[in-house]
Amino acid sequence: MPTYEYECNACHQRVEAVQKFADAPLTVCESCGGELRKVFSGVGIVFKGSGFYKTDSRGTSSSSTPPSSTPAATPPSSPAPSPSSSD
């Protein structure tokens, strides 16, 4: 979920809000009731999926075992990891 940062035009207080994309943006400062404007700092939004492919060096050296050489009789030992996002 993205984090938006706002700054009050009146008291210049910074406000961070975690919102969905569908949520309406904040417009009123909770401290003084002034007008908030959205600040794009770029540090609050992190896409966890980006760069994942960079660590996946497929097609290069044979450090990993091809799945075709695995015996088909091997039962699934480890269950799939459940998503950790509790929200």
Q: Give dist(CA 9, CA 11) in Å, integer.
A: 6
Residue 31 as a binder of Zn ion (CB under 5 A): the answer is yes
What burial class does residue 80 get, using C-beta atoms within 10 Å of its C-beta: 0-12 exposed, 13-18 middle, 19+ buried?
Answer: exposed
Nearer to Zn ion, 11 or 46 (CB): 11
Rg, C-alpha atoms of the chain:
23
- 29 belongs to the binding site for Zn ion (CB under 5 A): yes
Say how many residues touch Zn ion, by CB under 5 A. Answer: 8
When binding is defined by CB under 5 A, the residue of 1, 11, 28, 46 that contacts Zn ion is: 11
CB of 55 closer than 8 Å to CB of 14? no
- Please state the closest distance from residue 30 (CB atom) to Zn ion, in A: 8
Asked if 8 touches Zn ion (CB under 5 A), the answer is yes
